[in-house]
């Protein structure tokens, strides 16, 4: 299933994308997609619905994050060897973990707003893994059973804040609007191999990232198992699994960073596409 939400902030409605690509409203079935909607039992009930009887949404307008109440937003750094190389950093001996603030979460096509005094804001197309079942000290062999589904994430990063201003990476990763998620949550049954997904990202029509989850250093099952040793994973937690090469920071002969007016387009095979326009600091674009 491809599950999504649409509508203005604060008035989102749940929907499902049918086999023909039509958006079908689910408001008659449930009020909203939340973490509770991601359990195996809840997803089985949704899968049993005859989508042909649901109303078609011809113009969904704004596409919201695919579910409400995202819990932890956990990210994995330097998880592609070639991206580590372009960052002039070694491949880490264990997964590098950091957090994005949940206040960074926006819909897949919502405006991206540069922080005040931003100098080095960058892009990162990533595979997102959404937890559907409470996971604590799970084995790698069983780890994917705890996954509800997958999604596209743009792990937008302010590199000066992240690297040059001391402390943890979080300050460059958690800025408002720096976590576009969606357009859909694609359930696990539709992604038989999360390690065989092509991914790409364009800025102003130029292809910068063109990679595949095949080249991850630490695979999805390993990440879920590994992270569950350090914190309990709950339904609605999302893991952003790292980015392939081609980020702005790694461009030669000089880095390329985002500026107001730039347009990012990105996608992961089978999981949909995103498009964001970059704006100068404007709190109204964040709050409305």
> For 109-147, what is each residue's pLDDT tens digit?
999 999 999 999 999 999 999 999 999 999 999 999 999
d(C-alpha 174, C-alpha 160), whole Å: 13
25 is a domain residue: no
- Does residue 21 lie in a domain region? no
Question: Is 20 a domain residue?
Answer: no
- Residue 127: inside a domain, yes or no? yes
Among 88-92, 103-107, 162-166, 284-288, which is the least confidently predicted range?
A: 88-92
The domain total for the chain is 1
- pLDDT tens string 177-217: 999 999 999 999 999 999 999 999 999 999 999 999 999 99
Residue 190 lies in a domain: yes
Q: Which of 189, 181, 168 is nearest to 276 (CA)?
A: 181
What is the pLDDT, as a whole number, of residue 85?
Answer: 82
Asked whether residue 35 is domain-assigned, the answer is no
User: What is the 3 state secondary structure string of 40-101?
Assistant: HHHHHHHHCCCHHHCCECCCCCCEECCCCCCCCEEEEECCEHHHHHHCCCCCCCCCEEEECC
CATH label of the domain that carries residue 176: 3.90.850.10
Residues paired with residue 75 on neighbouring β-strands, in sequence order: 98, 240
| pLDDT tens figures, 46-57 | 999 999 999 999
Model confidence at 87: pLDDT above 90: no
What residue has token string 């409400």?
68
Query: With 90 as the cut, is the pLDDT of residue 75 above it?
Result: yes
The SS3 call for residue 214 is: helix
pLDDT tops 80 at residue 89: no
Residue 90 is predicted with a pLDDT of 85
Least confident of 76-80, 119-123, 167-171: 167-171
Residues 232-242: tens digit of each pLDDT? 999 999 999 99
Find residue 240's DSSP bridge partners: 75, 128
In a domain, 62, yes or no: no
Kindly state the percentage of the chain with pLDDT values over 70. 100
Domain span at residue 163 reads 68-287
Residue 288 pLDDT: 86
Torsion sign over Cα 167, 244, 80, 127: positive
CA-to-CA separations, 248 to 82, 159, 222, 283, in angstroms, rounded:
14, 10, 28, 25
Q: What is the predicted pLDDT for the residue at 211?
A: 96
Average pLDDT, the chain: 96
pLDDT of 15 higher than 80: yes
pLDDT in tens, 246-258: 999 999 999 999 9
Residue 6 falls inside a structural domain: no
CA nearest to 134, candidates 33, 238, 232: 232
**Per-residue pLDDT tens digits for 19-58:** 999 999 999 999 999 999 999 999 999 999 999 999 999 9
């Amino acid at each position: 299933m491809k599950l999504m939400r649409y509508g203005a902030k604060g008035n989102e409605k749940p929907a499902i994308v049918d086999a023909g690509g039509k958006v079908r409203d689910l408001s008659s079935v449930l009020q909203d997609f939340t973490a509770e909607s991601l359990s195996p039992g809840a997803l089985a009930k949704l899968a049993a619905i005859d989508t042909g009887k649901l109303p078609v949404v011809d113009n969904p307008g704004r596409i919201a994050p695919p579910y409400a109440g995202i819990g932890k937003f956990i990210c994995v750094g330097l998880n592609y060897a070639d991206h580590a190389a372009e960052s002039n950093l070694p491949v880490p001996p264990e997964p590098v973990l950091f957090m994005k603030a949940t206040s960074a979460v926006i819909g897949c096509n919502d405006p991206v707003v540069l922080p005040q005094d931003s100098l080095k804001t960058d892009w990162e197309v990533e595979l997102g893994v959404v937890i559907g079942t409470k996971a604590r000290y799970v084995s790698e062999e069983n780890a994917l059973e705890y996954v509800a589904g997958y999604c596209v994430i743009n792990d937008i990063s302010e590199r000066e804040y992240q690297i040059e201003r001391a402390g943890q990476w979080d300050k460059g990763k958690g800025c408002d609007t720096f976590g576009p998620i969606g357009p859909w949550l694609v359930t696990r049954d539709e992604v038989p191999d999360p390690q065989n997904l092509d991914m790409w990202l364009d800025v102003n029509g130029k292809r910068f990232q063109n990679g595949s989850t095949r080249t991850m250093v630490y695979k999805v099952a390993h990440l879920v198992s590994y992270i569950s040793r350090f914190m309990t994973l709950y339904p609605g937690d999302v893991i952003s699994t790292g980015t392939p090469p081609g980020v702005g920071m790694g461009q030669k002969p000089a880095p390329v960073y985002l500026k107001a007016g730039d347009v990012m387009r990105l996608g992961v095979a089978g999981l949909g596409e995103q498009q964001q326009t970059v704006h100068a600091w404007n709190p109204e674009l964040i709050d409305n």
